[in-house]
Amino acid sequence: MARKLLLTHIDVPGINTFEVYRQKGGYRAVEKVLKTLTPEDVVEEVKKSGLRGRGGAGFPTGMKWSFLAKPEGVPRYLVCNADESEPGTFKDRYLMTHIPHALIEGMIVSSFALGANTSYIYVRGEMMPQIRILERAITEAKNAGFLGKNILGSGYDLELYVQPGGGAYICGEETALLESLEGKRGNPRIKPPFPAISGLYNCPTVVNNVESIAATVPIINDGGEEYAKIGVERSTGTKLISAGGNLNKPGVYEIELGLPVEEFIYSDEYCGGIANGKYLKAVVGGGSSVPILPANLIMKTLKGESRLMTYESLADGGFQSGTMLGSGGFIAFDEDQCIVKNTWNFTRFYHHESCGQCSPCREGTGWMEKVLHKIEHGQGTFNDIDLLVDVAKKIEGNTICPLGDAAAWPVASAIRHFRDEFEWHVTNGQEAQMRNYGLAHYADPLEPVI
Amino acid sequence: MLNVKHNEPVEFTEEMLGKFAEIVARYPEGRQKSALLPILHEVQAKQGWLSVPAMDKVAEYLQLEPIEVYEVASFYTMFFRQPRGKYVLEICRTGPCCLVGAERIMKHIESKLDVREGEVTPDGQFSWRGVECLAACGYGPVLQIGPEYTFYENLTEEKIDKLINELRNKAEGRALTAES
Question: Which pLDDT does position B144 carry in this prediction?
Answer: 96
**Closest by Cβ to A182, choosing from B34, B100, B133:** B34
**pLDDT for A405:** 96
- pLDDT (tens digit per residue) in B135-159: 999 999 999 998 889 999 999 999 9
The reported pLDDT for the residue numbered A107 is 98
Q: Would you call A167 an interface residue with chain B, using a CB distance cutoff of 8 Å?
A: yes
A243 part of contact set with chain B, CB < 8 Å? yes
- Judged by CB atoms closer than 8 Å, whether chains meet at A342 and B95 is answered as yes
Who contacts A198 (Cβ-Cβ below 8 Å, separation ≥6)?
A204, A205
* A339-434 has CATH 3.30.70.20 classification: no
User: Does B94 contact A165 at a Cβ distance shorter than 8 Å?
Assistant: no
Taking CB atoms and an 8 Å limit, are B75 and A166 in contact across chains?
Answer: yes
| Euclidean distance between CA atoms A183 and A354, whole angstroms | 19
* Residue numbers in B near A184 (CB within 8 A): 33, 68, 72
The partner residue sitting opposite B140, judged by closest CB among A89, A120, A244, is A244
Residues of A in contact with B77 (CB under 8 A): 166-168
B5 Rama sector, left if φ>0, alpha if ψ -120 to 50, beta otherwise: alpha
pLDDT on residue B160: 97
pLDDT category, B4, cuts 50, 70, 90? confident
Distance from CA of A175 to the nearest CA of B (A): 15
**CB-CB under 8 Å, A345 with B76:** no
Q: Is A126 in contact with B134 (Cβ distance < 8 A)?
A: yes
Q: According to the model, what pLDDT value does residue B7 have?
A: 81
Q: Is the peptide bond before A193 cis (omega within 30 degrees of 0)?
A: yes
Nearest to A90 among B26, B135, B144 (CB): B135
Do A129 and B149 lie within an 8 Å CB cutoff? yes
Tell whether A333 is within 8 A of chain B (Cβ). yes
**Sequence-ordered list of residues with C-beta below 8 angstroms from that of A67, at least 6 positions apart, any chain:** A194, A196
CA A47 from centroid of its chain's CA atoms: 20
Enumerate the residues of chain B whose CB falls inside 8 A of the CB of residue A74.
none
Task: Say if CB A450 and CB A267 are below 8 A apart.
Answer: yes
Give the closest of A90, A181, A355 to B34, CB-based. Answer: A181
Q: What share of chain B is helix, strand, coil (3-state, %, to 5)?
A: 50, 10, 40
Looking at residue B179, its pLDDT comes to 40
- Chain A residues with CB under 8 Å of B94 CB are 87, 288, 345-346, 349
Give contacts of A290 with chain B, Cβ < 8 Å.
none
CATH class of A239-333: alpha beta
Q: Using alpha carbons, list the distances in angstroms from residue A66 to A43, A60, A206, A300.
A: 7, 10, 10, 37
Is B26 in Cβ contact with A161 (below 8 Å)? yes
Q: Does A326 touch chain B (CB under 8 A)?
A: no
Architecture of the domain spanning A18-229: 3-Layer(aba) Sandwich (3.40)
Among chain B residues, CA nearest to A341: B95
* Residues of chain A contacting residue B49, judged by C-beta atoms under 8 Å apart: none
Q: For residue A22, how far is the Cα from the chain centroid?
A: 28
pLDDT at A441: 57
Q: Is A210's Cβ below 8 Å from some Cβ in B? A: no
Mean pLDDT within B48-61? 96
- How far A329 CA sits from the closest chain B CA (Å)? 9
Tell me what pLDDT residue B48 has.
92
| CB pair distance less than 8 Å for B133 and A349 | yes
- Flag whether pLDDT at B1 surpasses 90: no
- The answer to whether the CB atoms of B41 and A333 lie below 8 A apart is no
Q: How many CB atoms lie within 10 A of CB A434?
A: 8
Q: Does A93 touch chain B (CB under 8 A)?
A: yes
What φ, ψ does residue A306 adopt, rounded to 5°? -65, 130
Beta strands in chain B (DSSP E): 87-92, 126-131, 143-145, 150-152
**Helix pair A128-143, A91-98: axis angle to 10 deg:** 40
Q: What are the b/e assignments for A37-75, b being 16+ CB within 10 Å?
A: bebeebbbbbbbbbbbbbbbebebbbebbeebbeeeeee
Name the CATH code of domain B87-179 (choices 3.40.462.10, 3.40.30.10, 3.40.640.10, 3.40.50.1820): 3.40.30.10
Is the model's pLDDT at B8 over the cut of 90? no
Between β-strands B150-152 and A205-209, what pairing exists: parallel, antiparallel or unpaired?
A: unpaired
Contact B137 A337 (CB under 8 A): no
Residue A18 pLDDT: 98
Find, in chain A, the residue whose alpha carbon is nearest to that of B30: A201
Domain ranges in chain A are: 18-229, 239-333, 339-434
Q: What is the pLDDT of residue A445?
A: 42
pLDDT tens readout for residues B9-28: 899 999 999 999 999 999 99
Q: Is the pLDDT of residue B175 over 70?
A: no
What is the distance in angstroms between the Cα of B88 and the nearest Cα belonging to chain A?
13
Cβ-nearest to B132 among A186, A342, A349: A349
Residue to mutate among A94, A122, A128, with most B CBs inside 10 A, is A128
Residues of chain A whose pLDDT is less than 70?
Answer: 1, 440-450
Domain boundaries of chain B, sorted by first residue: 14-75, 87-179
Q: Is A86 on the interface with B (CB under 8 A)?
A: yes
- In order of A275, A281, A290, A431, the CA distances from A335 in angstroms are 11, 5, 20, 17
What is the pLDDT, as a whole number, of residue A74? Answer: 97
How far apart, in whole angstroms, are the C-alpha atoms of residue B50 and residue B56?
A: 10
Fold held by B14-75: Arc Repressor Mutant, subunit A (1.10.10)
pTM value? 0.95
